[in-house]
Structure 1
Amino acid sequence: MPPGAHAASLENVAAAFATNVWRRELFDGLVLASGKLRLAGCTVIYLDGSYVTGKPKPGDFDACWDPSGVDLAKLDPVFLEFGNGRAAQKAAFKGEFFPSTMLCADVGQAFVDFFQLDRFTGKQKGIISISLSADPLLLGKVQP
């Protein structure tokens, strides 16, 4: 994927990446988490990791969410649990979520920037940006 954040809907993500039973399970976790984030006021998430590649059985997906406008009182606390390899998040959603502005301690960059670097080559790469506020898959499932 070319460098930058590329806009897609959850339906676009499903069509491109939910291509087998396991990948569909991961996608279902992504949709569940997206709905919870939207309920708390999150308007955009960024998707990365082996899920957005051709790997037949990725271990999980990696995502970060924009904390701008998020009401922490409405945010599911699991989104702020990073211990034990994000085990609580993986159990709840089959993937990992970080605030996009949170610094990745390993590299000293915000997660939204860290996600845009190939971990093997260090070169820029693309990620998927999903607007939650008007995503057709979430409309009707989540109260504003």
Structure 2
Amino acid sequence: MLPNFQPLSGAPWQILPPGEHIATLQEIEQRLAFNSHRLNLFNGLVSAASLLAQSGCKYLYLDGSYVTEKDMPGDFDACWSIEQVDFSLVDPIFLDLSNGTTAQKARFGGELFPNRTERASGKLFKDFFKNEKHTNQQKGIIVIDLQTEFSLPNQGV
């Protein structure tokens, strides 16, 4: 269950309290898809999550203004765990960032990065996501267990 949003001095919207909050896609839809725009973003997220799960990806970490009370977020931000992923099964859209994330945004409505080091901060993306960008204070992110959500058998063992 997702905790309640909380105010953070200097942040434009209420946010999740610090930490990694495990949630199901159903919980995310009930809590965050509260208008048609957010529902469209959620549907794109589910589409991307399903593709990543098929490659053996275990976790998706959700962030951005989508994980706030902002009525009309521009997109969602996410990163995905790379451990146990069969990269031969990963849709190329998740690996080709040669034109930024334009193709991802067009297809899914958001950005999805492998959980590797974010260049500017030197932190893994999931840790980079835990800083509120207006205040640089700690905030929460959502963790989705993709293998549980999509009930896929273990790949290739």
1:3 aligns with 2:18: yes
**CA distance in structure 1 between the aligned counterparts of 2:153 and 2:41, rounded to whole angstroms:** 23
Determine the structure 2 residue equivalent to 1:73. Answer: 88
Determine the structure 2 residue equivalent to 1:34. Answer: 49
Match of 1:132 among 146, 150, 155: 146
Residue 91 (structure 1) shift: 1.2
Match of 2:123 among 103, 106, 109: 109
Determine the structure 2 residue equivalent to 1:118. Answer: 132
Please list every run of 5 or more consecutive structure 1 residues that lacks an aligned counterpart in the other structure. Answer: none
**CA distance in structure 1 between the aligned counterparts of 2:69 and 2:96, rounded to whole angstroms:** 29
Please list every run of 5 or more consecutive structure 2 residues that lacks an aligned counterpart in the other structure. Answer: 1-15
Identity of aligned residues (%): 47
Going from structure 1 to structure 2, the CA distance change for 1:38 and 1:104 (only over 3 Å counts) comes to same
Give 2:91's aligned amino acid: D
For normalisation by structure 2, the TM-score amounts to 0.84
Residue 56 (structure 1) shift: 1.0
- Runs of 4+ in structure 1 deviating by more than 4 angstroms, as ranges, are none
**CA distance in structure 2 between the aligned counterparts of 1:119 and 1:28, rounded to whole angstroms:** 25
| Superposition CA RMSD, Å | 1.4
**CA distance in structure 2 between the aligned counterparts of 1:49 and 1:58, rounded to whole angstroms:** 8
Matches within 5 A, 1:86-101: 86-100=101-115
Structure possessing the higher relative contact order (Cα contacts under 8 Å, 6 or more residues apart): 1
**CA distance in structure 1 between the aligned counterparts of 2:43 and 2:102, rounded to whole angstroms:** 17
For normalisation by structure 1, the TM-score amounts to 0.91
- Check the 8 A contact 1:81/1:89 in 2, yes or no: no
